């Protein structure tokens, strides 16, 4: 049996990871905050060392973007120091670490979609803390992958779609920002044939 540690299992991304169908030989372990507080680096190390995990997936985060401006230490504790501790623990156990990050590591004023190697230049505490987490994971553990996502939507917790649905039910007129853009395809997928069909 391969045990995979998923942090933030009560969150939007973590919750979906916990609920999805995994292969029979995969067992997901998703400790609640009370069982593993990610602001406690030594607890992270001990939990991973004792867990016999085959991999770690870390979607847990401090995600209150506006509140982070006045809770700098808390944002950095969860978004930077916890990934650093997970990198240490994963390296010690020689297991891969998948870390979830955000488009907020970028400045956000580009007129074209960001490439993965675009300059990291956050303008707020949340983005800065997530950028610090990325550096800790990328430089701290070779067997790591960073997945940046944006505009997360799920049935649980707060997200843009749920807010719009609520406002739609409450208000006759909605005023919504129109200057934010999510991911879009960089270029159309070319209709060219795949290598296999070309050779075959
Ligand atoms: N939401 C978005 O639109 C968005 C956009 C771009 C990137 N992302 C990234 O995607 C990832 C997942 O986001 P999400 O929206 O799924 O987040 P979320 O719903 O806010 O869930 C965050 C999870 O982290 C856990 N957590 C926070 N602090 C903790 C601590 N000290 N100890 C233990 N657990 C703690 C929370 O635990 P509790 O359940 O106890 O609160 C919660 O389960 C994050 O890395 C985020 O930066 C999200």
Pocket lining for ligand 1, CB < 6 angstroms: 8, 10-14, 33, 37-39, 59-63, 78, 100, 102, 130, 149-152, 157, 159
Identify which of 5, 7, 13, 100 to mutate to test ligand 1's pocket (most ligand atoms within 8 A of the CB): 13
Give the Å distances, CA to CA, from 73 to 23, 81, 86, 124, 127: 38, 10, 18, 13, 13
Mean pLDDT of the chain: 91
Burial 135-163 (b: 16+ CB within 10 A, else e): bbbbebbeebebebeeebeeeeeeeeeee
Identify which of 15, 43, 61 to mutate to test ligand 1's pocket (most ligand atoms within 8 A of the CB): 61
Rounded Cα distance, 154 and 167, in Å: 17
Identify which of 6, 41, 63, 78 to mutate to test ligand 1's pocket (most ligand atoms within 8 A of the CB): 63
Catalytic residue, from 62, 104, 126, 167: name it.
Answer: 126
Q: Which domains, ranges and CATH numbers included, belong to the chain?
A: 2-158 (3.40.50.720)
pLDDT in tens, 29-83: 999 999 999 999 999 999 999 999 999 999 999 999 999 999 999 999 999 999 9
Say whether 167 is catalytic. Answer: no
pLDDT at 188: 52
pLDDT in tens, 83-128: 999 999 999 999 999 999 999 999 999 888 889 999 999 999 999 9
Say how many Å lie between the CA of residue 12 and the centre of ligand 1.
7
- Confidence check: pLDDT of 198 > 80: no
Give the containing element (helix H, strand E) for 132. Answer: helix 125-140
Q: Which atom of ligand 1 is nearest to the CA of 7?
A: 34
Give the closest residue (by CA) to ligand 1 atom 40: 33
Q: Which atom of ligand 1 is nearest to the CA of 38?
A: 32
Q: Which atom of ligand 1 is nearest to the CA of 39?
A: 31
């Amino acid at each position: 049996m391969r045990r995979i540690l998923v942090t933030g299992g009560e969150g939007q991304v973590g919750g979906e990871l916990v609920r999805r169908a995994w292969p029979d030989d995969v067992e997901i372990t998703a400790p609640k905050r009370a069982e593993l507080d990610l602001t406690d680096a030594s607890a992270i190390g001990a939990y991973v060392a004792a867990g016999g995990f085959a991999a770690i997936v870390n979607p847990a985060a401090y995600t209150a973007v506006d509140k982070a401006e006045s809770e700098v230490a808390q944002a950095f504790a969860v978004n930077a120091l916890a990934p650093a501790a997970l990198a240490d623990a994963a390296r010690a156990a020689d297991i891969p670490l998948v870390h979830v990050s955000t488009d907020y590591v970028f400045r956000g004023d580009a007129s074209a979609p960001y490439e993965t190697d675009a300059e990291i230049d956050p303008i707020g505490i949340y983005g800065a803390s997530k950028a610090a987490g990325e550096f800790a994971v990328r430089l701290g553990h070779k067997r790591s992958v960073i997945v940046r996502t944006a505009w997360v939507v799920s049935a649980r917790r707060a997200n843009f779609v749920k807010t719009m649905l609520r406002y739609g039910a409450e208000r006759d007129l909605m005023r919504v920002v129109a200057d934010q853009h999510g991911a879009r395809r960089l270029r159309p997928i070319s209709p060219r044939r795949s290598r296999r069909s070309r050779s075959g």
